[in-house]
Structure 1
Amino acid sequence: MSVTFILALILLILMIIIGGKKGFGAYISLWINFTILMGMLLFISWGFNLWVILLVGSSLVLLITVYSSGADEDTILIALQSSLIVMLILMIIIIPVEHINFVQGFAVENSEELEGLSLQIGLNFGQLGVAAALLATLGAIAEAAVAITSGISEIMYHHPQMKLFDLIKEGRQLGQQIVGTALNTVLFGFMADFLSLGMMFAKLHYSFAEIINSKLFVAAILSMIYAFLGVIMVLPITLMLINLRHKHKLNS
């Protein structure tokens, strides 16, 4: 019995104890998303169109993540729509930024491990960089979308007579708090990932100029910025969708 299996079993037990059926559903969705990501890697390595695989796979990951939250149908629908819109906007931003910064592929620090190996693997490293950057933002986007939409749904449930303007105002205040928490989560995640890289820079006596021009550092910073942008965009887009849905109900 491996350590990974034991940790996975402990995680399952804790999620069932704390979350019940929803916790078990979230655990299953975790492995479904893992399977989807592995499938995406296989299809990309087999030469399938990366953009099609990326769009379909990312949409499925968002669908599974949002659906596993256990929220009501309206909340799931709005959160999913918001997540998909943010994902498409981020893709439009990531493609030119990755091309301009040229951070895809391997860095100088990887040269020792790659010595004697061929890099002619038949894949476009630029496209792979875009895919990696987008996939790294999906979790933060889905989490923020579900949290904001669920919070606004609770406000509507407890105050059904609240006017739309007041609802949007309350939703904006709630969303700002959730976005702030989500941004801190992304920041601490980045700091944890950057810790080993920072130690390497310190041990190798990198200058400040060498650090800010390092491909590994720039790629990590850009990944964090993409996640920040995604989380920030979730709030106005979610409020806009709730506004449109509310008006549609009034007109129907």
Structure 2
Amino acid sequence: MSVLMMLSVILFALMLAIGGVKGIGAFVSLWISFAIMVVMTILISFQFNAFWVLLIGGASLLTVTVLSASADERTTIIALIASLIVMLILLAVILPTEHIAIAQGFAEENSEELEGLSLAININFGTLGIVAALLATLGAIAEASVAIATGIGELLNSKPSLQDNELIGVGQLLGKQIIGTAVNTVLFGFLADFLSLAVLFSKLKYTFSEILNAKLFTSSMLSLLYALLGVIITLPITIIIFLLYQKHQKVDANRGKL
């Protein structure tokens, strides 16, 4: 049994013991997301339009992630819509930023690893950089949107008489706490990935200005900023969609009484 298979069995056993049926669903969604990523990679390598692959694949990943939370219908719909909107906003931010930063592709530090290999893959590295940057943010976006929508939904269930302005205030307070946790998760993940890069820069005796201009550092920092931006803007967008959804439900209920 390989190490990957052994770890997968341990993960499945723990998720089953702790999460029960929901744990099994989360485990299955993990492999479905992995399969979607593999299909996206294959399609891009076969010269399919990378942006269409990114939009369809990203939407599929968000759908699988949100559905795996096993929340109620209202929470699932709101979280999914909010996640998709945030994904499109981030894509609009990433497109010009990646072109300006010119941080895509391999850096000088990768030259030894790439020696003897051909880079003539006939795929634009700028496009690959955009795809990678957006995909790196989707997990944090889906997690934040589900947590915020679930928290607001539970609050509204316990106090259905809350007015919109009260709901916005409480939702902002709740969302700030959730965002704080999500931001720390993203930040710690970045620091863990950056540790080996920091050791490399130290061994090569890079100056501060050289580190700031290093392609590896720039791409890593941009990925962190994209994820943080996505988590932050998820809060107001989720609250707005929640209010619109509630308003739509009230209008439908009033029509049903007529």
Quickly name the TM-score band, shorter chain normalised.
over 0.9
**Matched AA of 1:127:** T
Aligned letter for 2:144? A
Question: Cα distance, 1:245 vs. partner?
Answer: 1.2
Letter of the 2:247 partner, please give it: K
The whole-number CA distance in structure 2 between the counterparts of 1:167 and 1:208 is 46
Alpha-carbon RMSD: 0.7
Secondary structure of the residue aligned to 2:247 is helix
> Is the partner of 1:137 in helix, strand or coil?
helix
Following superposition of structure 1 onto structure 2, how do residues 151-190 of structure 1 map, counting pairs within 5 Å?
151-190=151-190
Unaligned runs of 5+ in 2: 253-258
Indicate yes or no: 2:118 matched with 1:121: no
1:72 aligns with 2:72: yes
Matched with 2:15 is 15
Aligned-pair identity (%):
57
Match of 1:63 in 2: 63
CA distance in 1, matches of 2:114, 2:208: 26
Please name the residue that 2:235 is paired with. 235
Distance in 2 (alpha carbons) for counterparts of 1:33 and 1:56: 13
CA distance in 2, matches of 1:144, 1:107: 32
The C-alpha deviation readout for 1:99-118, integer Å capped at 9, x for no partner, is 00000000000111212222
Segments of 5+ residues of structure 1 without an aligned counterpart are: none
Distance in 1 (CA, whole Å) between partners of 2:134 and 2:228 is 12
AA in 2 matched with 1:116:
G
Letter of the 2:32 counterpart:
I
Counterpart in the other structure of 2:96: 96
State the shift of 1:55 in Å. Answer: 0.4
Question: Match of 1:104, SS?
Answer: coil
Q: Could you tell me how far apart the structure 1 residues matched to 2:87 and 2:56 are? A: 12
Aligned letter for 1:4? L
Aligned residue-pair number: 252
Letter in 2 for 1:51: F
Q: Which amino acid in the other structure matches residue 132 of structure 1?
A: A
* Paired amino acid for 2:108: V
What's the CA shift for 1:197?
0.4
Match of 1:195 in 2: 195
- Of 167-176 and 30-39, deviating more is 167-176
Give CA-to-partner distance per residue, 1:47-96, whole Å, 9 cap, x none: 11101100000000000000000000110000000000000000000010
